[in-house]
Structure 1
Amino acid sequence: MLRRNRLAAAVSAAVGISALTAIPQMASAQGEEMLEEVVVTGSRIQRANLVSASPVTQVDAEEFKFQGVTRVEDLMAKLPQVYSNQNSGQANGATGTATLNLRNLGDERTLVLVNGRRMPAGSPLQGGIGADINQIPGTLIQRVEVLTGGSSATYGSDAVAGVVNFIMQDDFEGVQFDYQFSQYNHGNDDSSLQRIVTDAGYPVADGSKTGGDIQDWSLIMGGNFDNGRGNVTMYATYRDVEAITQADRDYSGCAHNADSTGCFGSGTIPDGRVTDFGVLEEGFDFKVAGSEFVPRDGTTYNYGPLNYFQRPDERYTAGAFGRYEINEHVETYTELMFMDDRSVSQIAPSGAFFVTNTLACGNPLLSDQQFDALCGQFGLTEDDVQTAYLGRRNVEGGPRQQDLRHTSFRGVFGARGEINDTWSYDVYGMYAEVSMENTYLNDLSTTKVTRALDAVEDADGNVVCQSVVDGSDPNCVPWNIFTTGAVTQDQLDYLVLPLFARGTTDQTVYSGYVAGNLGDYGWNLPTADSGIQVAFGAEYREENLDFNPDSGFRSGDGAGQGGATGPVSGGYDVTEFFGEISIPVLEGKAFAEELIVDLSYRYSDYSTDQTTDTYGIRAGWAINQGVKVRGSFQRAVRAANIQELFLPQGFNLFDMDVDPCGGATPLRSAADCARSGVTAAQYGRVPNNPAGQYNFLQGGNPDLAPEEADTYSLGVVWTPEFVDGLSMSVDWYSIEIEKGISNLDPNFILNECLDGNDSQCALVKRGNAGDLWIGSDVNNSGNVIALNDNLAVEEVEGWDVVVDYSLDIGDMGTLAFSNTLSLITKWDEAELKGAPTTDCKGNWGSSCGYPTPETRNNLRATWLTPWNVTGTVMWRYISEVEDLQGNIDLDSINYFDVAGIWDVFDDTASIRLGVNNVLDEAPPVGGSAAGPSVQGNGNVFPGLYDALGRYWYVGVTVGF
């Protein structure tokens, strides 16, 4: 089996093979039996046509071995059409899941299927956005089909950017064991990057660093029974991933500033900082040294090195796929999938992030020198209170860790078969549930920080909290951050606030359709021999989400959380009716060997009082055996998910280097800032957030309408007879989205206000100091209001080019080449209709956020030797991406991967080894803008680039 399939695997496993070209090529090479009808992603009609109207990119199982990946996300992220927002490289803001994002249009607009049926929402933390592909066992994948462009008429909501369909093995026979070990290595030798860190006084990684070990075990067992009428395929896998911290790479030795010329440290420092942030006319900015206040002199804390660059992860999966043919009319089938995955995210220690704005001059923990510096020099007595913001990093308590565990189950039970020679059917019921446990460790309580800093002497002269004296909190322990080394375990035990959240998502689907060939009734056009084919059916789907954070999360009392985390509970259901018709228009004519037109329609009625109509038309024209043309139009929709509908209002954070009205020398005029709520007395004294993070008010909207998209495609496939083994497809696509569900970018709102748009000024709420960041009280703290609405307008156009070529080299075997090119020619977005349009093609930053390279290309060359060895080399290219903020562009990059597979025994064992990113190319550095709000980490973008350097692996497969 292994030996016989090597040629097909070597040719088709190369990334990018098109499903429409695969069918006739394989039929020609392997016999007429390959022309049996199949279902291709994007349609429910079985066909054996020479041409498919849908451009489907296919990745076969062998590609997983060539890439040596154990995480499905890692392989998918390398496809030129695919982007990755949530992945193993996320730390701050991680959900513990892995999601897919076609065309960079968002996880929520990419529909993920298994065997043509939906995956459930990945995590309650995501609010119903994006399927977690950690649930999919890589060793059981037969192939992956990627259809870009709308397909809502076939699959319903969410298929705006496209569909990713994982086709699983369900007919395995025998036993197969697979083990792989892999790890990362990087040579830290970039002296310019190292100098940035050392000049800031921080340690930096130097020399070769190896780690992040990944071990993956899998077992597959299967067999036929009852004379081949049935089959059961079972699997079990285990994966263990070790952590890598940002301290292990020189490009992440510190959080860079905007243009990556220096470190951007946090003003919340381990020494302890006391400052007025420029509020007072004669201000101060101290740090603690011994028992004194001394000038801070720019001292910052390097919060980057402790952050995880690769999260530790432990995953178990198990399941079974079964089918049994009861008779010629009924075949039952089932899919059972279970996953338990635990991942830990780690970021820098929590602390007092300037949550208090006063300090009593009579605080008994202050030394005489500190009293004089803070109060005495300003003419204040021990009975007075000074305006002072306190920042103190809790390095004694260790880094913050978010322990994320997801347990999921997905069950499908169905029946399919032939009603008669004309009609067939497929009906199924499906239930899926994801349970999440979120435990947040080592954060501090804002309430307790405030109480612990309010120290007094009791009647016996002991230093205690005021809350102990007045009885409001008898357990309070004063936090002595005014003397170096004075923090005790008792103080930490009082301040630390563990946070807990639990939640579930569940999905129920009942679906069925019938399909028939009306040609059996004489329903065919006179210009075609084949009959008209139809499929029609109905579907009911229910989605529910319950996210239940504890009181600490809900109140926003976690000092390092950036605001309150509210509960979300809600659900909706939808009843749908759909149909497809495939009409052969011409067959066997001059210049029209085959011309087929497909029509599709779906009506959806949501329990949220929304209805939608989606429809499409596709055409495939085989001019002859060598030239085929295809085109399509699809009206796609995406209904609001549960988070977008029901998320309670609460604070989140957005990145902004400085408030345009902040600091002693604001970037905007007094008149501009007055429009946003800055008073004349505040102008020039508005404090900037040292971390560059500001509050915005987010929340759901139960009246959201579905967003709409018109998607177009036009392509040609060329398989010239005069060049044996060559096929080429060129496809143009366009996706136009209106009424996009989103919140306005808080930066956009603020700048529109400053530019004179009074309607946006109503959404800017300044705090007591004219700020937009101090505190977490939604009623009193400064913030920008940015609630969900039908606002965004986006338009994406581009080209996909796939070239496959195989060459017989005689006694030396076969060479196979495959090249997949994705070229974006337009990626425009507007915050709302009528607003200025931003060109995101080849750009990143500002409102574009995540990078959108203009060109991505993968070229694989494979040598199928006559010695049971397959060798392969892959070149991956990502073009330059320019920074819209004008700070730092992301250079173009080339990656080279090599791999080899040796079939030790033809049918029983193989060994594989390989190296990805052979030359150990470091990822392009984006500076502070490459932060968690745009799915960056460690100054880079792990979902787009090889963030950890060189990756090597060795694996073995044994079967019998």
Structure 2
Amino acid sequence: MKAVVLRTGNKSTHFKKSLLAISLMAISAQGMAQAVGDKKAETKEIEKIQVTGSHIMRGGSANFTSSAPIMEVDAELIEGTGSISVEDTLNRIPAITSELSASSNNLPFGGTASNIGVSTTSLRNLGSARTLVLVNGRRYVSGVSANSGYGVDLNSIPTSIIQRVDVLTGGQSAIYGSDAVAGVINIITKKDFDGAELNAFGADSERGGAARQNVDFTYGKNFDAGNAWMSVGVANQDGLNSADRDFAKYELSFIDTNKDGIVESIARRNGPAHVPGAALSFGNLFIFGNGKPFNTNQPVMDSNFVPNGASDFDNQHASRKIVSPYKRFHIATGSTVEISDDTSAELEINFSQTTATAQLEPIALSVRDNVFMVGSGGSSGIDIATSPYFVGSSAGQQLLSVMGSNTSFDRISTFRRMTEFGPQVVSQRRNTFRTAGSISTELANDMMWTNSLVFGMTSQTMNKTGDVALTQLREAMKIEADGKGGYRCVDATARAQGCVPVNPFNTVDSLLGKSGVTGFSPAAVKYMAIDTGQSGELRQFVGSSVLAGNLPIELSDGPVSFAGGLEWRKEEARETPDSFRQLGISRDLAIADIVGSFDVVEAFTEFQAPVAEWLNLSLALRAGEYSTVGNTFTYRFGADAPVTDDLKLRAAYSSSVRAPNINDLFSTGATSTAPSNVDPCNGVTAASTGNIATNCRSIAAINQRIASKGAFNLVASEANNTRLLQTGSLALKEETADSITLGAVYSLSDDWSLSVDYYGIDIEDGITRVGPDVFVKRCYDVAASGFDATCGGNLQRDSNDGPILNLRSTLINASRIETAGVDIEVSYLFEGLKLNVIANSLSKFDVTDANGAVEEFVGRPLYPEMRLTFNGSYDVNDNLNIFTQVRYRNETQSYLGKTNLSDDLNQMDAATYVDLRVNYKLAEDFNVYIGSNNLFDVQPDINARPDSFSVGTNTEARAYDVIGRQYFAGLKYQF
């Protein structure tokens, strides 16, 4: 495994050497000899450096001397795959999964709209909030909306300034503080850059869409006292429409065509029924506003995902995207200066601006529930028999024929797309600014005192078009005859403000329709169209002081090393939604603004003791006081045993914490759509037994529907229109985690190395949100005497027809998460050939809820039992290099355990991706390259499990490539 080193600005005659030269020196044979205690044989002094995972200064190979595995991702991997975001490169590592990306975060509504253009990463599938991302060993401000999550936006860190990335797994809170439960990702930026470098490349897909481009320029200069550099660049990611890929162009469902109880066919999804022009239903009657019958066919797809037949159900994928477009501009600068023989200073400044857009189909509207709130006790006052909306119309006549004596419109279900208002389009602008500075002073006895300050700020502004003010729409539907053969709004003030009648039912042959009012006129759109959005800001302040060196204590193999210090951190957030959403008069649920902050002071210390020539022990302790959760304490024990020159054993045990972050504490509600399976009453009949059925029938609207239709069966639009409000909680406490790693590193020769490491992580009091389907089922599966139909005020149903309208989900400390597995890395280096294999075998990932129910994840799409990445680089000659990367993940299943899906539908196939790049040196300082990602055009498998992260794709976009074969070409010119 490769050395992982980070310069800290200490006094050195080699200060101006590049980090690459230091890395090579650290993994030299002499460095290896020092790591195993053969100091007498040393003929060359090894400079002491600070490695990722410790504040202690030491020499030698980081991975060989560390008690925990450290993996290095160098610039060659980023360049070799044509990435414009380091998130894409990290997602190729078996231990890492993307959380938010351009292809898994593409919905412009609710809380997710605030994160368009954001990319975050997750170690061990434990989430971005449990993965601490550092830049040059220091914290980096979150780039995720405070109302919807927490995590560093990797798109704000341009690839052009990255020297390498160190990945340190296992609990590291004793070293770095909260959030390092899964481990640490330390991004090392370029330093000591001397000269100028121009990079440019472009990429496109074979089928079109998702093209990307990048141009950046970096200039640096060494001078007598140090170095200064600056980088500026732009990057662009084009979008990819769902309609442009066969596997994604239709929403899918899965049906039992053989009627044998096994679901074996892929079909077009039967919903939603929100369609241009409007649809109406009552009982078994389902018609358009013009009176024509609604075609409810659910055609089966052929092998090319073409539906075998027509359907009138709306295809939302016609307007959705697989990849959301974004643009990034960055400017970064840094400097290292020797102030005196004993003191050096370091400064880094980074600014990036990301603009992103996303598009969704026009908003859906239910006149009954959205406009007049009938399900919440309101009333439209419309009578089918007398209202000009229906009198004389074919739709009105058909409805009256089945409605009986009660002809109130409030009994009718309505479905409409507001096409006159255009698609929902989100525009997002996000600015990230960060500056970090440090002063390091070498004291007597090789002591190093480093003081640093970090300030980071993310500001974002989001605007969304295509929404409607429900208050104005309500006024536009209160109409009266104008005495001139037409109609007008009843309220005179509303008329003065531009109110004109609308016909959301599109009953073209009704009295209103014949007067010329069908749908929404341009004047009506002008009166009620609104833009929604929000603005927000996150701030982070970090100050630290660290003293490191050797204690005057000699053991059998040298002095005891130590580091100790203090750290203060404060995080602040504010987020202000538009007034329409705050008042609850847009289509989204009402949410309040956010203003919140917390601070923490921590003291920490580390010791490393070479107790024998073959054994080093380490101890790290950290105590903190949070303004939110009070006192915390973490520790870490480590041991590395270089038992021979070739073999080293290592082990570490740690206790870590994650204190609730800004989002956990202060989120007032990110809105989204709940899964279609959230309502346990769906399918209940008069003969159904059990607590759930009994409690469902106790609700009047559900019981009435069962009596009239024989069962409470939700239509697709009802099942998919439950609005979910996800909030934080000030009652949260910290979660704790115990982690263990056991491993060995073996150098077979100067060219071969092998490492094998077992890891286990056990999180208690995990901050979690109970799944909405699980929450509602628990609420309903109780004895009738203790049943609360509102589930503690968190659930609201339509009081007429019974479907769930709104659901609230609050974060709690309720889960236990256990994961375990084995990491393997093999490296080979011989002359111009470099080979590297990284593999992860996942043996356990279980989540236990507050009631003791265990949910297993190993074998699901994001949790394959085996992931493997092979990297190969070969210098054919002095001018030609070939680089390839091969990624493999084994087959998984959409659902584990019992399911009615056929094996073919439930199984998600194994995938192997091959990337290739050929680099040619035209001159000493001029390189050109061409390459291909997904060279063999491997297509993603269909995911039969609904996934809120990968909407618009029909697959798991965080696991599978959704673009297809891509080609890229570029150049690098140094001068």
Asked whether 1:134 is paired with 2:182, we answer no
Matches within 5 A, 1:612-691: 612-648=632-668, 652-657=672-677, 659-662=679-682, 669=689, 671-675=691-695, 678-679=699-700, 680-683=703-706, 684-685=711-712, 687-688=714-715, 690=717
Equivalent-residue separation in structure 1 for 2:188 and 2:148 (angstroms): 26
Distance 1:368 1:347, change over 3 A: closer
CA shift digits 1:899-931 (9 cap, x unpaired): 11112222x11112111110111112114x343
User: 8 Å contact 1:135–1:408 — kept in the other structure?
Assistant: yes
Q: What secondary structure is seen at the aligned counterpart in 2 of 1:672?
A: helix
Moved more, 239-248 or 598-607: 239-248
Partner of 1:860: 871
User: 8 Å contact 2:767–2:811 — kept in the other structure?
Assistant: yes
Q: What secondary structure is seen at the aligned counterpart in 2 of 1:212?
A: coil
Partner of 2:274: 268
Partner of 1:60: 74
Equivalent-residue separation in structure 1 for 2:246 and 2:798 (angstroms): 41
Distance 1:125 1:393, change over 3 A: farther
Shift of 1:788: 1.4
User: 8 Å contact 2:169–2:182 — kept in the other structure?
Assistant: yes
Shift of 1:76: 1.1
Asked whether 1:329 is paired with 2:359, we answer no
Distance 1:837 1:671, change over 3 A: closer
CA shift digits 1:631-667 (9 cap, x unpaired): 1011111111122112236764321346331257599
User: 8 Å contact 2:31–2:59 — kept in the other structure?
Assistant: no
Shift of 1:381: 8.8
Partner of 2:285: 284
Distance 1:774 1:826, change over 3 A: closer
Partner of 2:144: 123
Asked whether 1:157 is paired with 2:178, we answer yes
User: 8 Å contact 1:651–1:696 — kept in the other structure?
Assistant: yes
CA shift digits 1:273-297 (9 cap, x unpaired): 1124x5xxxx532213xx4353453
Aligned AA for 2:293?
Answer: V
Shift of 1:180: 0.5
From 414, 417, 421, the equivalent of 1:393 is 417
Partner of 1:491: 524
Matches within 5 A, 1:354-373: 355=370, 356=372, 357=374, 359-361=382-384, 362-366=386-390, 367-373=392-398
Shift of 1:141: 0.8
Q: What secondary structure is seen at the aligned counterpart in 2 of 1:843?
A: coil
Equivalent-residue separation in structure 1 for 2:816 and 2:32 (angstroms): 46
Equivalent-residue separation in structure 1 for 2:44 and 2:150 (angstroms): 41
Asked whether 1:410 is paired with 2:434, we answer yes
Q: TM-score, normalised by structure 2?
A: 0.85
Shift of 1:737: 0.4
Partner of 1:552: 580
Partner of 2:296: 297
From 714, 725, 737, the equivalent of 1:709 is 737
Equivalent-residue separation in structure 2 for 1:255 and 1:20 (angstroms): 52
Equivalent-residue separation in structure 2 for 1:459 and 1:471 (angstroms): 15
Equivalent-residue separation in structure 2 for 1:748 and 1:224 (angstroms): 60
Moved more, 799-808 or 291-300: 291-300
Shift of 1:444: 2.5
Asked whether 1:309 is paired with 2:309, we answer no
Unaligned 5+ runs, structure 2:
1-22, 35-41, 256-264, 298-311, 375-379, 509-517
Moved more, 693-702 or 565-574: 693-702
Partner of 2:466: 442
Equivalent-residue separation in structure 1 for 2:254 and 2:584 (angstroms): 29
Unaligned 5+ runs, structure 1:
1-18, 186-208, 776-781, 809-813, 845-850
Aligned AA for 2:215?
Answer: W
User: 8 Å contact 1:678–1:766 — kept in the other structure?
Assistant: no
Moved more, 660-669 or 261-270: 660-669
Partner of 1:816: 834
Distance 1:490 1:106, change over 3 A: same
Partner of 1:750: 776
CA shift digits 1:586-639 (9 cap, x unpaired): 11xxxx2xx111100111101125210011011100011111011101111111
Aligned AA for 2:230?
Answer: M
Equivalent-residue separation in structure 2 for 1:941 and 1:649 (angstroms): 25
Distance 1:467 1:247, change over 3 A: farther
Distance 1:480 1:614, change over 3 A: closer
Q: What secondary structure is seen at the aligned counterpart in 1 of 2:966?
A: strand
Asked whether 1:71 is paired with 2:95, we answer no
Distance 1:388 1:537, change over 3 A: same
Shift of 1:368: 3.1
User: 8 Å contact 1:328–1:417 — kept in the other structure?
Assistant: no
Percent sequence identity over matched residues?
Answer: 27
Shift of 1:940: 1.7
Equivalent-residue separation in structure 2 for 1:716 and 1:341 (angstroms): 43
Q: CA RMSD in A?
A: 2.7
Shift of 1:857: 0.2
Distance 1:258 1:103, change over 3 A: farther
Equivalent-residue separation in structure 2 for 1:212 and 1:708 (angstroms): 41
Asked whether 1:166 is paired with 2:180, we answer no
User: 8 Å contact 1:765–1:772 — kept in the other structure?
Assistant: no
Equivalent-residue separation in structure 1 for 2:671 and 2:214 (angstroms): 40
From 600, 613, 622, the equivalent of 1:602 is 622
Equivalent-residue separation in structure 2 for 1:953 and 1:512 (angstroms): 45
Q: TM-score, normalised by structure 1?
A: 0.86
Aligned AA for 2:611?
Answer: V
Equivalent-residue separation in structure 2 for 1:650 and 1:873 (angstroms): 41
Equivalent-residue separation in structure 2 for 1:805 and 1:720 (angstroms): 10
User: 8 Å contact 2:33–2:645 — kept in the other structure?
Assistant: no
Q: What secondary structure is seen at the aligned counterpart in 2 of 1:442?
A: strand
Equivalent-residue separation in structure 1 for 2:917 and 2:318 (angstroms): 32
User: 8 Å contact 2:918–2:930 — kept in the other structure?
Assistant: yes
Partner of 1:794: 817
Equivalent-residue separation in structure 2 for 1:541 and 1:212 (angstroms): 39
Partner of 1:242: 238
Shift of 1:478: 1.6
Matches within 5 A, 1:77-156: 77-89=91-103, 90-92=105-107, 93-94=112-113, 95-96=115-116, 97-125=118-146, 127=148, 129-156=150-177
Partner of 1:10: none
Partner of 1:769: 799
Shift of 1:685: 4.1
Aligned AA for 1:622?
Answer: P
CA shift digits 1:112-162 (9 cap, x unpaired): 000000110113355560010111120111110011111111111100111
Matches within 5 A, 1:471-482: 475-482=499-506
Aligned AA for 1:113?
Answer: L
Equivalent-residue separation in structure 1 for 2:801 and 2:597 (angstroms): 37
Equivalent-residue separation in structure 2 for 1:655 and 1:749 (angstroms): 12
User: 8 Å contact 1:517–1:534 — kept in the other structure?
Assistant: yes
Distance 1:649 1:900, change over 3 A: closer
Shift of 1:55: 0.4
Aligned AA for 1:79?
Answer: I
Shift of 1:87: 0.5
User: 8 Å contact 1:686–1:769 — kept in the other structure?
Assistant: no
Equivalent-residue separation in structure 1 for 2:714 and 2:478 (angstroms): 23
User: 8 Å contact 2:325–2:356 — kept in the other structure?
Assistant: yes
Aligned AA for 2:245?
Answer: R
Partner of 1:190: none
CA shift digits 1:286-323 (9 cap, x unpaired): 213xx435345352111112212222211100010111
User: 8 Å contact 1:98–1:134 — kept in the other structure?
Assistant: yes
